[in-house]
Amino acid sequence: MLGLDRLARALDTRMLSFAMTLVLVALLIVFYTVTMVNMSAISGRIDEINAHPYPVTVAAGEVETNLVQLRTLSDRLVYVRTPEAVDAVEDEYASIDQAIADPLATIASQCRSSPEKAAALSADYETLKAEQRQLIDECRDPAATDAEVQRLVSEQVDPLIGAMLARNSEIIGSSHQSFGALFELAVKACAETALYATVLMAGVLAVLAIFLITLKRRNAERDRLQKNLEAALETARHASQAKSQFLASVSHDIRTPCSAIVGLTEIAERHVGETDWVEECLSKITLSSHHLISLINDVLEMSKIESGRFLLNDETFSLEELVSLVDVIAQQQARTKQLAFRMEAGDVSGVYVRGDSLRLRQVLLNLIGNAVKYTEPGGEVRLRVRLERAGCVSPEQAPCADETLMLGECRRGVDFPETPCGGEGACGCALYRFEIEDNGIGMTPEFVGRIFEPFERERTSETRGIEGTGLGMSITKSIVDQMGGTITVKSERHHGTTFTVDLPLCLENADVAKPLPAEDAAPTLPKRVDFSGVRVLVAEDDEINAEIACDIVGRTHAEVVWAHDGAEAVETVLQAPDGWFDLVFMDVEMPNMDGLEASRTLRDACRREGRTQLVIVAMTANAYVEDRRRAFDAGMDDYLVKPFGFADVCDVMDLRLPARSESDGQHEANESAEPALSLV
């Protein structure tokens, strides 16, 4: 009791509330992370079953049935050798040969557990067909005796069929083991989820109990300040009302895709043998996962903005290419909701500008997505892009020193004049206007005045059920402000909304422009998928993530070694012969020694000892510009953002590793020159 009194005197109510919130958020994050990891593991196992054990098991069952029929037909010829019987057996052989071809091909192409046995099974069947042809010929030969026919069947045909049946049974057994592994994973995932849920509830109750006891004692000691305390609490309630609404909205919006993921996973488990049903469930799970990631990204991005750690990238890009890419994505969004999308962009042909192309695209897609979301089917959304004027300001609005200074602060390394250009474009900039117009449900004048405030959403009968966190417009305005532009909105209920974005963009030459990443384009196969002879070190402290990364890299036929942290990765590379490893996939956040320190240590050690500089690729969930810069500053060559797939790994390896000729039997070391670091 004395300890509680001291705690009450040491901490005020505000600090205790903040500490409780942190603890609750930490517990919720742990529970959510474990749940998602478990669901991801189960989903991955379902993918494996769908791609391998189920079709292989079905095909092996068909092969077994056909082999038994072949043995019965062969035995029949021992007792009946009439021409009619021989012709009938030959016809049955041909029919069974057609029926067994597809199952054998399925086993040969999809059997991962026993590929050697699958290949041997196909080879044995070719031998069996030759033996069957010999048996038919001998049965038709009048000079052949029944004893010779029986000897051929018992000594050649039947033993070969028996060996094929045994090998086929082994393939079925190995496939069944994959089913067992899925159920073990599901039981383990459920147990872990239940355990963490129990720990979470206990932690919540404990924190609440401490808070309530401490608050009660504090109120008892300060009865004379009760009225002031109530007034302060009332003020705090009003101040946090918007955030409370945001938390309620986020809770609902996050639970919606989570419920879909959990429910669809259970449905897929119950219908694991129905391929179409499982594929539909997996497709919907993927959509829900992407929606969940977008919600989390919005919250994290708003946190970055509020903490002042929001940075813009600086690169040259084609404005025409960016607008075309936005048009493609917007057309898909509008088509999904049965809307018409039209774009008018007459002043962007051949224009190259300098800035953050990803953020500009994010602004346009946010506004277009907002218009699509709040426009009813049959409506229309328009994007108009035009050159408003050359220079930062018009001749009537000189001076432009403030705007020029703001641009210079946002984009380091670019020269800006200190005097106004008078609207003649002498400053190297041009003001472009982007207008996004729709004929949707519109907004009330009251909400238009606060649309760019964080956590704000207009709640009417027409907007009920539309997903969102109330952060999109706040993020959009923050980006536009950071880029030195302005954004305004005009709206009328039931007549539509128009957003106008004015951005000063610095004009550049086409020869220094980089192609824009088409993140929403259809996926393409990597150029190279076979990296036999390449040695790769995967540095990852999380066992599940390490297993995934090693499996993906292993599919390229590269030799993979796993290091549990940065210190072990450094030790493994330096203890190996010079040039032994070609590439290191380095996690950034690791115990003992993180990925950034490990990369710096490896670079310094290789320079000091005269060793070959190997390729280091970061793999991390940190996707912000400043995270990439820290990685490249630490000596890393490339950057993979989790979650990544097989194609991403192949593209990085193809870019960073030279192709080896087939005649080269030795494992050659990479060139000793240090690779140039660049933002990719």
For residue 674, the 8-state DSSP code is P
Domain identity same for 510 and 607: no
**Separation of CA 438 from chain center:** 31
Q: Are residues 575 and 605 in the same domain?
A: yes
Q: Which residues contact 579 (CB under 8 A, 6 or more apart)?
A: 611, 612, 614, 667, 668, 669, 670
Q: Which of 169, 195, 217 is the last residue of a domain?
A: 217
Query: Domain for residue 46, yes or no?
Result: yes
Distance CA(327)–CA(324), nearest Å, equals 5
CA atoms of 362 and 355, how far apart (whole Å):
13
User: In angstroms, rounded to a whole number, what is the distance separating the alpha carbons of residues 39 and 36?
Assistant: 5
What's the rounded Cα separation, in Å, for the pair 274 and 465? 32
Question: Both 511 and 543 in a single domain?
Answer: no
pTM of the model: 0.45
> Both 589 and 481 in a single domain?
no
Are residues 548 and 632 located together in one domain of the fold? yes
Q: Are residues 198 and 336 in the same domain?
A: no
Of the three residues 158, 186, 217, the one that is the final residue of a domain is: 217
Cβ-contact 282, 47 below 8 angstroms: yes
Residue 568 tokens read as 């072990």
Residue 443 sits in which domain range? 317-390+429-456+469-518
HSE at residue 294, side-chain half, CA atoms within 13 A, is 17
Q: Can you say how many angstroms the Cα of residue 595 is from the centroid of all Cα atoms in its chain?
A: 21
Is 594 within the bounds of a domain? yes
Nearest to 312 by CA among 432, 412, 402: 412
- Let me know if residue 334 belongs to a domain: yes
**d(C-alpha 117, C-alpha 431), whole Å:** 68
The whole-number pLDDT of residue 52 equals 66
Measured CA to CA, the distance from residue 278 to residue 115 in angstroms comes to 25
Which of 588, 575, 581 is closest to 630 using CA atoms? 588
| Average pLDDT score over residue span 496-503 | 91
Whether 340 is covered by a domain: the verdict is yes
What tokens appear for 132 in the block?
Answer: 């069957």
Cβ neighbors of 485 (< 8 A, separation 6 or more) are: 501, 502, 503, 504
Share of the chain above pLDDT 90, in %: 18
Residue 629, judged by CB atoms within 10 A of its CB (0-12, 13-18, 19+), counts as middle
For residue 404, what pLDDT is reported? 42
Q: Both 488 and 574 in a single domain? A: no
Q: Considering its fold, how many domains does the chain have in total?
A: 3
Kind of pairing between the strands at 583-587 and 535-539: parallel
Task: Phi first, then psi: give them for residue 252, nearest 5 degrees.
Answer: -65, -45
Q: 104 in a domain, yes or no?
A: yes
Q: Which is more confident, 514 or 638? A: 638
Query: In this structure, which amino acid lies at residue 516?
Result: L
Say which residue, 572 or 227, is predicted with more confidence.
Answer: 572
pLDDT-based confidence at residue 407 (cuts at 50, 70, 90): very low
Looking at the fold, whether 72 and 33 belong to one and the same domain comes out as yes
Instruction: Could you list the beta-strand ranges (E) of 116-220.
Output: none
In a domain, 487, yes or no: yes
pLDDT tens figures, 467-490: 666 677 888 888 888 888 899 999
Q: Pick from 124, 121, 144: which is nearest to 134 by CA?
A: 144
Give the integer Cα–Cα distance in Å for 391 and 404. Answer: 10
173 with 112, same domain: the answer is: yes
What HEC string does 592-634 produce? Answer: CCCHHHHHHHHHHHHHHHCCCCCEEEEEECCCCHHHHHHHHHC
Residues 556 and 478 in one domain: no
Band of the pLDDT at 251, cuts 50, 70, 90?
A: low
Residue after which a domain boundary falls, among 217, 233, 260: 217
Overall average pLDDT of the 538-545 stretch: 91
pLDDT in tens, 6-27: 555 555 556 666 776 777 677 6
Q: Are residues 21 and 125 in the same domain?
A: yes
Please answer whether residues 435 and 457 qualify as being in contact, where contact means their C-beta atoms are separated by less than 8 angstroms. Answer: no
**Tens digits of per-residue pLDDT, 640-670?**
988 788 888 998 999 888 765 443 443 443 3
The answer to whether 269 and 46 are in contact (CB under 8 A) is: yes
